[in-house]
Amino acid sequence: MPQPEQPADQPIDWKTQVYQVLKDFDVKHVAYVPDAGHSSAIRLFAADDDVHSVLLTTEEEGIGYLAGAWLGGQRGALLLQSSGVGNCINTLALQACSRFPLLMVVTMRGDWAEFNQWQNPMGQATEPALNLMGVRTWRADKPEDVEVLLRGAATMAFEGDQACALLLGQRLIGKKAWK
């Protein structure tokens, strides 16, 4: 579906694009653990009566939930932070064995300008770990990359019954600070 051009003098609102792309792909279930990087999309989905917005206690629950949504004939997406990818590694075997469409949007930590050293190990291992589990990955570090990469990942997930993840780099999200 063609999208209106972004006026040249306005910054790209990539956070709203995440919501809009998933809506364009008829996503009816969004599972997430609260995350500042996804807060705009989470708020938009929570206010959308056409989408079941599901708060998880841990990220791997989302994989089983989305498998169930697919079995029920509906599409879903998992919004998570890179630190939560480590929680999902074993559960990704469910997708590998049953080949249902799995779309993940991952906000990165342990990346550029990370202040919290505890985020670094999983942040550095996120993409290789996902790849080892058969998940196709793409990385967006600039606002203009988000929409096109998410549309491509969603196409491959939903039309090819694949596990796909878009990694939203910390340069895109912005430097975090203790508050």
Taking only the tens place, the pLDDT of each residue in 13-43 is: 999 999 999 999 999 999 999 999 999 999 9
Distances (CA, A) of 58 to 15, 33, 85: 22, 7, 10
pLDDT tens digits for 63-106?
A: 999 999 999 999 999 999 999 999 999 999 999 999 999 999 99
- Token look-up 């991952």 returns 106
Annotated domain spans of the chain:
14-173
Question: What is the reported pTM?
Answer: 0.92
How far is it, in rounded angstroms, from Cα 97 to Cα 79? 22
Determine the pLDDT at residue 179: 65
What architecture is the 14-173 domain classified under in CATH? 3-Layer(aba) Sandwich (3.40)
Determine the pLDDT at residue 2: 42
